[in-house]
Amino acid sequence: MDIKAMDKAYVANTYNRFPLQLVSGKGSVMKDETGKEYIDLGTGIAVNTFGVADDVWQQAVTEQLSKLQHTSNLYYTEPCAKLAQMLCERTGLKKVFFSNSGAEANECAIKVARKYAAEKKGADCYTILTLWNSFHGRTITTLAATGQDVFHKDFKPLTCGFVHANANDLEDVKAKVKENKIAAIMMEVVQGEGGVIALEKDFVQGVAELCRQEDILLICDEVQVGNGRSGKLYGYMHYDVQPDIVSTAKGLCGGLPLGATMLGEKVETVLGFSDHGSTFGGNPVCCAGAISTLSRLDDVLLQGVQERSELVFKTLEGKKGIKSVTGLGLMLGIETEKPAGDVIKACMESGVLVLSAHGKVRLLPALNIPMALLKKALDVVVRVCGE
Ligand SMILES: *Cc1c(COP(=O)(O)O)cnc(C)c1O
């Protein structure tokens, strides 16, 4: 049986995989089982921050792997403590809870918000407001947070205590805050799965101000847009706001599972002993990878993200078959005249891997993709969209 048939026979049918088996890669170039090469503009959905088998990252991870691959959270390890310090120093937030995925990072944020609000405002203040078109994960609770009914329909009843408001509509947010006892407002400053749409600055600042006035916690879901992808370390940093809680995952470690929930001053002591936990969370190998990744996300690197972003806009905007380009940094959505699926397929045939999001073509390249390679891949996208 070949691998594709074996996968179809034995792996649960949740993924509509492309007919492509990947075996190895280096940087932004991936190879399939026949040796054919592809320029990767997807990075495993914003996970491989510096591409595949990056030398610096690989060394950081393998060095830790040769010392200690895991211990329980009953003991201290250096990578976990150092990474937490690094995240706090670079965000101004005060404490970090480590988990293994974006959904779990959001679960922790929701637990913190509920406990904070119950203690401060009473047990009936537990509702979390999120935005329509958002994506916050696949667990029953983070599905409830996700403002897209398509993900909900077969899994009801979902966790109670979530309401949604329209993105970029401050009046709608204010109305929902009046109608409900709101503990927290959670949002992605760039809606990723929802079509790579950056929220408007006035809206985000208006929400932050409302949160301050009403003692509502502001949670930024930075699972996809965080860790340098936006051109700043975290996406909220484009908006001059200070969230109370920041959740992140995907690109944090650069290729291994790691989630983090960062807690600001208001909530740093909300979680006490045994309030929350995770067996794998804060795994030393993942933390070593994240320390390496974060330490490379300096001003020069982030400037490079910005330059690559400008190249994408300049190359794609106004071209035949391309209706719009949206997003921030290297988190980009392309509205195409052709169905996104056709563009993705044709790009793949021409040796370029791109993603989709809500009917758009989505690009999430490595933050250090060489300019020439990026240009080469974009020329393929332009050709495919215009044909
Ligand atoms: C991917 C994503 C999640 C879920 O992350 P998992 O690691 O798949 O659980 C949550 N929020 C946002 C914004 C995401 O992009």
Q: Can you tell me the distance from the alpha carbon of 136 to that of 107, in angstroms, rounded to the nearest whole number? A: 9
Listed in sequence order, the residues at least 6 apart from 100 whose beta carbon sits closer than 8 Å to its beta carbon are 249, 257, 258, 259, 278, 280, 281, 283, 286
- Ligand 1 atom closest to residue 257's alpha carbon, by position in its atom list: 7
What local confidence, expressed as pLDDT, does residue 55 receive?
A: 98
Atom of ligand 1 nearest to the CA of 101: 7
Can you list the domains of the chain with their CATH numbers?
3-53+299-386 (3.90.1150.10), 68-296 (3.40.640.10)
Residue that is written with structure tokens 């891997």 in the block: 353
Within a 10 A sphere around the Cβ of 276, how many other Cβ atoms? 18
Which tokens sit at 135?
A: 């994506």
pLDDT at 132 over 80: yes
Instruction: Answer whether residue 347 shows pLDDT above 90.
Output: yes
Q: What is the pLDDT of residues 173-190, one digit of tens each?
A: 999 999 999 999 999 999
The chain-wide mean pLDDT, for the chain, equals: 98
- Torsion angle of C-alpha atoms 11, 12, 13, 19, degrees rounded to 10: -20
**What are the tens digits of pLDDT across the range 221-234?**
999 999 999 999 99
pLDDT for res 1? 75
* CA–CA gap between residue 172 and residue 179 (Å, rounded): 11
Q: Residue 124: pLDDT band by 50, 70, 90 thresholds?
A: very high
Residues lining ligand 1, CB < 6 A?
A: 101-103, 106, 135-137, 188, 192-193, 221, 223-224, 249-250
Q: What is the pLDDT of residue 385?
A: 98
State the DSSP code for 27.
B
pLDDT score for 160: 98
> Can you tell me the mean pLDDT for 94-108?
98
Burial 243-263 (b: 16+ CB within 10 A, else e): bbbbbbbbbbbbbbbbbbbbb
CA-nearest residue, atom 6 of ligand 1: 102
CA–CA distances in Å: residue 109 to residues 24, 77, 211, 272: 35, 24, 16, 14
- For the segment 34-57, the average pLDDT, to the nearest whole number, is 98
pLDDT at 354 over 90: yes
Rounded Cα distance, 352 and 385, in Å:
13
Tell how far the Cα of 320 is from the centroid of ligand 1, in angstroms. 32
* Residue 1 CB coordination number (10 Å): 9
pLDDT band at 310 (very low <50, low <70, confident <90, very high): very high
C-alpha span between 272 and 283 (Å, rounded): 20
134-177, pLDDT tens digit by residue? 999 999 999 999 999 999 999 999 999 999 999 999 999 999 99
